[in-house]
């Protein structure tokens, strides 16, 4: 039977105290015990259903974690204070000094910086590769490699990882495949395709309100228990726990994710087709011209579409900046980093979210100065948006340049 992630979220039923239709919020950092023995057992992780201290976990965090585990089809999940607060403990849990990571070279700038600049201090080395070429990925694996790391749809170039192919490699060499699925929630379910650990920045589409940062790690019960182990768990000891009040608000937003993703995808597909027809250099996984269109289609939970992210290349940073400032002025969206908001967000990744990547490496991976990354919003009238964007492009001389 087909995997239906939104059904699985909706099939959960939690009530709050006094019959509330939302689960009660656990507004406490610490919990009382009737017996000291139960407190000890809870600390050791041997008292199911008891809570000790909210850095370990809290009922509100468990509700959100369980809903996200259902969405990804993993045994369980743990929620974190940010996306980076999910990515960094996973890598530190899986790798020790002397270990090696093979990572996609096109990933979020913060993750890139962590692997490139931070983990070498702990003698964890990373080889960055073109993740779309399985032979290159395989050639980079050494006897010290522990992790294959990628984003399903990469930030910002929108390259698509072959999750099944990578999972087969991970199995062959006894590695863990860790996938950041932030750009494609619901659309792709990496754990169903063989990923061992699935991460999201909840900051983006899943929360969808641009009012908080947050993250989640979805995986086996054993792995999540290890992350939360009081003696050597990276989540427990690094302390990137989500606040309970936030967990409850993200859970409420998660319930409309399926409707929002469909609208983001519909609007992005409409604009991508129009931009491409206008002669703009457009990248969107839903376009037949995307090098991994077939692959993405084969991984897709169809009803959610190809997602809300697209890029255009307008030739130079000056043109990109001029266009973005004008579009903001006309209220077509915001010149802002991040993604997944109701309003369209645009930024030039080379000088913002990917600025941690040195210029020569940006050039090598095809990240050009004139690239604009769009997170397409929930616009009710996308035709009108397109007309207005086209006027802006004419005004700054971009459409004349390409036609
Ligand atoms: N992963 C991806 C793909 C991202 O785009 C981002 C942030 O932009 C992150 C992870 C980091 O998430 P956060 O900002 O919530 O720490």
Q: Which phi and psi angles does 178 have, rounded to 5°?
A: -110, 125
Token pair 């050039």 is found at 363
CA pair distance 10, 259, nearest whole angstrom: 13
Q: Which of 110, 115, 159, 354 to mutate to test the pocket of ligand 1 (most atoms within 8 A of CB)?
A: 110
Cα of 83 vs centre of ligand 1, distance in Å, is 5
Measuring CA to CA, which residue among 399, 375, 370, 265 is closest to residue 310? 375
Q: How many Å is the Cα radius of gyration of the chain?
A: 22
| Ligand 1: lining residues by beta carbon, under 6 Å | 82-84, 108, 110, 151, 155, 180, 182-183, 201, 203, 213, 215, 353
Q: Which of 109, 182, 353 to mutate to test the pocket of ligand 1 (most atoms within 8 A of CB)?
A: 182
Token pair 């063989």 is found at 194
Q: What domains, with CATH codes, occur in the chain?
A: 5-254 (3.40.640.10), 259-402 (3.90.1150.10)
Contact 53, 30 (CB under 8 A): yes
CA pair distance 30, 48, nearest whole angstrom: 16
Query: Which residues pair with residue 200 across a beta bridge?
Result: 216
Shortest-distance Cα residue to atom 2 of ligand 1:
108
Contacts of 26 (CB under 8 A, 6+ apart): 51, 54, 58, 59, 60, 244
- Give the residue, 73 or 46, on which the prediction is more confident: 73
Cα of 228 vs centre of ligand 1, distance in Å, is 22
- Give the residue, 43 or 280, on which the prediction is more confident: 280
Q: Which phi and psi angles does 63 have, rounded to 5°?
A: -60, -50
Cα of 209 vs centre of ligand 1, distance in Å, is 15
Decide: residue 343, CB within 10 A, 0-12 exposed, 13-18 middle, 19+ buried: middle
Cα of 347 vs centre of ligand 1, distance in Å, is 15
Cα of 393 vs centre of ligand 1, distance in Å, is 29
Cα of 204 vs centre of ligand 1, distance in Å, is 8
Cα of 90 vs centre of ligand 1, distance in Å, is 14
Shortest-distance Cα residue to atom 14 of ligand 1:
83
CA pair distance 340, 273, nearest whole angstrom: 20
Q: Which phi and psi angles does 78 have, rounded to 5°?
A: -135, 140
Q: In the predicted model, is pLDDT for residue 403 greater than 60?
A: no
Q: In the predicted model, is pLDDT for residue 44 greater than 90?
A: no
The C-alpha angle 328, 113, 120, rounded to 5 degrees, equals 175
pLDDT in tens, 16-38: 999 999 999 999 999 999 999 99
CA pair distance 173, 147, nearest whole angstrom: 10
Report the nearest atom of ligand 1 relative to the CA of 337: 8
Cα of 371 vs centre of ligand 1, distance in Å, is 19
Q: Which of 151, 201, 345 to mutate to test the pocket of ligand 1 (most atoms within 8 A of CB)?
A: 201
Q: Which two tokens stand for residue 149?
A: 């790391």
Measuring CA to CA, which residue among 206, 262, 211, 256 is closest to residue 65? 206
pLDDT in tens, 283-334: 999 999 999 999 999 999 999 999 999 999 999 999 999 999 999 999 999 9
pLDDT in tens, 82-129: 999 999 999 999 999 999 999 999 999 999 999 999 999 999 999 999
CA pair distance 209, 277, nearest whole angstrom: 32
Report the nearest atom of ligand 1 relative to the CA of 338: 8
Report the nearest atom of ligand 1 relative to the CA of 151: 3
Shortest-distance Cα residue to atom 4 of ligand 1:
108
Please state, rounded to an integer, the average pLDDT across all residues of the chain: 95
Cα of 4 vs centre of ligand 1, distance in Å, is 25
Q: In the predicted model, is pLDDT for residue 69 greater than 60?
A: yes
Give the mean pLDDT of 145-173: 97
């Amino acid at each position: 039977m087909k995997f239906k992630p939104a059904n699985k979220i909706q099939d959960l039923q939690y009530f709050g105290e006094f019959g509330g239709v939302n689960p009660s919020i656990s507004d406490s950092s610490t919990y009382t015990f009737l017996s000291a023995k139960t407190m000890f057992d809870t600390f050791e992780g041997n008292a199911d259903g008891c809570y000790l201290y909210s850095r370990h976990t809290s009922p509100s965090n468990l509700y959100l974690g369980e809903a996200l585990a259902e969405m990804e089809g993993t045994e369980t999940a743990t929620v974190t204070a940010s996306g980076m607060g999910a990515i960094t403990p996973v890598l530190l849990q899986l790798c020790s000094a002397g270990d090696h990571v093979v990572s996609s070279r096109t990933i979020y700038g913060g993750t890139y910086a962590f692997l490139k600049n931070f983990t070498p201090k702990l003698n964890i080395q990373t080889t960055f590769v073109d993740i779309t070429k399985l032979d290159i990925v395989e050639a980079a694996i050494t006897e010290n490699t522990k992790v294959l790391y990628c984003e399903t749809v990469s930030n910002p170039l929108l390259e698509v990882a072959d999750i099944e192919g990578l999972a087969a490699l991970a199995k062959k060499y006894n590695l863990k495949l860790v996938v950041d699925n932030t750009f494609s929630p619901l659309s792709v379910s990496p754990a169903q395709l063989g990923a061992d650990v699935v991460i999201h920045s909840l900051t983006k589409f899943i929360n969808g309100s641009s009012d908080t940062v947050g993250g989640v790690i979805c995986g086996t019960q054993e792995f999540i228990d290890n992350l939360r182990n009081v003696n050597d768990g990276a989540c427990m000891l690094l302390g990137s726990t989500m606040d309970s009040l936030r967990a409850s608000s993200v859970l409420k937003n998660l319930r409309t994710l399926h409707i929002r993703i469909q609208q983001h995808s519909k609007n992005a597909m409409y604009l991508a087709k129009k931009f491409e027809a206008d002669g703009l250099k457009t990248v969107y996984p839903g376009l037949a011209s995307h090098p991994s269109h077939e692959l993405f289609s084969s991984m897709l939970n169809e009803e959610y579409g190809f997602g809300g992210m697209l890029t255009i290349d307008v030739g130079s940073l000056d043109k990109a900046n001029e266009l973005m400032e004008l579009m903001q002025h006309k209220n077509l969206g915001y010149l802002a980093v991040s993604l997944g908001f109701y309003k369209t967000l645009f930024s030039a990744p080379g000088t913002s979210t990917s600025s941690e990547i040195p210029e020569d490496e940006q050039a090598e991976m095809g990240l050009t100065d004139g690239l604009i990354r769009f997170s397409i919003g929930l616009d009710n009238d996308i035709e009108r948006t397109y007309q207005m964007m086209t006027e802006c492009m004419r005004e700054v001389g971009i459409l004349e340049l390409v036609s």
